[in-house]
Amino acid sequence: MAKQYATFAGGCFWCMVKPFDETPGIESVISGYTGGHVVNPTYEQVCSETTGHVEAVQIAFDDELYSYEQLLATFWTLIDPTDAGGQFYDRGESYTTAIFYHNEEQRDIAERSKADLQASGKFDKPVAVKILPASTFYPAEDYHQYYYKKNPMHYERYAVGSGRKAFQEQHWG
């Protein structure tokens, strides 16, 4: 095939870029907003919880070098898939999790991946990640793009302080 897109909401988009970036087959990882009803929302609008958007990343990838299944396997390790109210320190609708599929094949693969995770017994609670059709994706403001590179010390403090790193180590090693 050729270039495809994957869109994942996993709480704060800052923490969703680095694990996918600089991986062979990944062309770009853009932080942004999707799933809402306001055209071209700002960070402040999304944080106000009035737009219906979630923070998300949109990944452009070459599926001959890095498959959608591999993207999903990475996605699961970045989040608490049982938390329906946000992720770690960040609470509210804009920080909830979702897989936004771009075609029926992605939807089928995502549904199967979610079912496999649920059946694995890795978590005591049900997997709460929504699987939804992709809608318009609005790139976030420039200062949010590749935040881990622009502000490495703050990024690390945030990843640790939010509880995300400890959760990842506890559940995924």
Name all contacts of 147-152 with Cβ < 8 Å and 24+ positions apart: 147/14, 147/17, 147/31, 148/14, 148/17, 148/18, 148/21
| Separation CA 152–CA 127 (nearest Å) | 31
**Percent over 70 (pLDDT), the chain:** 99
76-115: pLDDT as tens digits: 999 999 999 999 999 999 999 999 999 999 999 999 999 9
pLDDT at 22: 83
Query: What amino acid positions are annotated as catalytic residues?
Result: 12
Instruction: Give every CB contact of residue 124 below 8 A, 6+ residues apart in sequence.
Output: 82
Domain count, the chain: 1
Residue 105, domain CATH: 3.30.1060.10
Percent of the chain with pLDDT over 90: 97
According to the model, what pLDDT value does residue 173 have? 85
Residue 150 identity (one-letter amino acid)? K
pLDDT > 60? residue 169: yes
**Which one-letter amino acid corresponds to residue 129?**
V
Average pLDDT over residues 18-35: 95
Mean pLDDT calculated for residue range 119-129: 96
Q: What is the mean pLDDT of residues 23-41?
A: 96
State phi, psi for 54 to the nearest 5 degrees.
Answer: -115, 155
2 pLDDT higher than 80: no
Q: How far apart are CA 93 and CA 135, in angstroms?
A: 17
Residues forming beta bridges with residue 34, ordered by sequence position: 54, 137
What is the per-residue pLDDT for 1?
56
Arithmetic mean of pLDDT, 22-42: 96
The full DSSP string for 76-145 is HHHS-TT-SSEETTEESGGG-EEEEESSHHHHHHHHHHHHHHHHTT--SSPP--EEEE---EEEPPGGGT
| CA atoms lying within 13 Å on the CB side of residue 17 | 20
Domain span holding position 36: 3-172
